[in-house]
Amino acid sequence: MEKILKNAIKCNYCGDIIISRHTHDLVSCKCGKCSVDGGNDYLRRLYTNSLDDYEELSEVIEVNDELNINDLKKANLTKK
């Protein structure tokens, strides 16, 4: 399965970089042509014309199972 580390896009019209940080955190860019939603749970994109409206900036990693996710969390905790 995939684990979303960062849910973000850059609007190709206004250059705004928008990040969805929570599951129901719908964020729109300055010009309103693009939006992101879903936080770290799912990648939802809203755009006006086509996929070319934005540049994908999300960071997603492939993990094998829940155990690996827990290991990752531990690793992140020890870094701080």
> What residue ranges bind Zn ion (CB under 5 A)?
11, 13-14, 29, 31, 33
Q: Give the residue with the Cβ less far from Zn ion, 57 or 69.
A: 57
- According to DSSP, the residues that pair with 35 across neighbouring strands are 28, 46
Specify whether the CB–CB gap between 33 and 13 falls below 8 A.
yes
Nearest approach in angstroms of CB 26 to Zn ion is 14
SS3 helix, strand, coil % of the chain, rounded to 5?
20, 35, 45
Angstrom distance (rounded) from CA 53 to CA 23 = 23
Kindly state the smallest distance separating residue 23's Cβ from Zn ion, in Å: 23
| Residue (29 or 43) nearer to Zn ion, CB | 29
**Rounded least distance, CB 46 to Zn ion, Å:** 11
In terms of CB distance, is 45 or 68 closer to Zn ion? Answer: 45
